[in-house]
Chain A
Amino acid sequence: GENVEQHPSTLSVQEGDSAVIKCTYSDSASNYFPWYKQELGKRPQLIIDIRSNVGEKKDQRIAVTLNKTAKHFSLHITETQPEDSAVYFCAAPLIQGAQKLVFGQGTRLTINP
């Protein structure tokens, strides 16, 4: 089965600066890597995902990069805003081809005004 490691566990950045969260995975056959955002007291929601056939994907201020050789992927948030404050989780499929996900431990991101 898959194992996902995420770091840092907490991250504090100044508003307007960039934030980077990194994850590593163990199963080289994994081919789908989503990122979920969970605001305080709310449900986790998908913000971006990447499949193994591409190395990078962007959506406005958010981007995800994937390095299959090194088995790691990263979330990049640029021009951070107060509403970016949340816990972010990376994930990978529980088993090859499965929809079910193994999540990283989460990163609590705080944006300081």
Chain B
Amino acid sequence: KAGVTQTPRYLIKTRGQQVTLSCSPISGHRSVSWYQQTPGQGLQFLFEYFSETQRNKGNFPGRFSGRQFSNSRSEMNVSTLELGDSALYLCASSGTGLANTGELFFGEGSRLTVL
């Protein structure tokens, strides 16, 4: 079974631009969550989607948004990029119902650098 796939793996943007990151969960997983990882702040929860609906949201400004498609693939978007948005963005999927063990399965991440 293929793992969680994130694209692109690396990208460089300049301040003020916007970026879209993509995540394909493990087949059969319907819950997708996003985390921002920085050296100083660790892993911070951005939001979680289930069946195309945002279920939970972390404490991030409205510039951070996301969505989920009917095939459970998810995208997150960051608009008006700031230098502080430079980070590794991790996507994680998890099973639901009887398949929910609590474990999050992470992708390799998308490393965003804002210049």
- Give A contacts to B, CB under 8 Å: 32, 34, 36, 42-46, 49, 89, 94-95, 98-106
Using a CB-CB cutoff of 8 Å, which residues 58-93 of chain B contact chain A? 90
> Is B20 close to A, CB under 8 A?
no
User: Cβ of B42 and Cβ of A105 under 8 Å apart?
Assistant: yes
CA distance A98 to B47 in the complex (A): 12
Q: Tell me which residues across on chain B come within 8 A of A106, comparing CB atoms.
A: 42-43
User: Cβ of A44 and Cβ of B103 under 8 Å apart?
Assistant: no
User: Cβ of B102 and Cβ of A99 under 8 Å apart?
Assistant: yes
Q: Tell me which residues across on chain B come within 8 A of A49, comparing CB atoms.
A: 102-103
Q: Tell me which residues across on chain A come within 8 A of B33, comparing CB atoms.
A: 99-100
Can you list 22 residue pairs at the A/B interface with Cβ under 8 Å?
A43-B107, A43-B108, A44-B43, A44-B104, A46-B103, A89-B42, A94-B56, A95-B56, A99-B31, A99-B94, A99-B104, A100-B33, A100-B55, A100-B56, A101-B45, A103-B35, A103-B44, A104-B42, A105-B41, A105-B42, A106-B42, A106-B43
CA distance A44 to B42 in the complex (A): 12
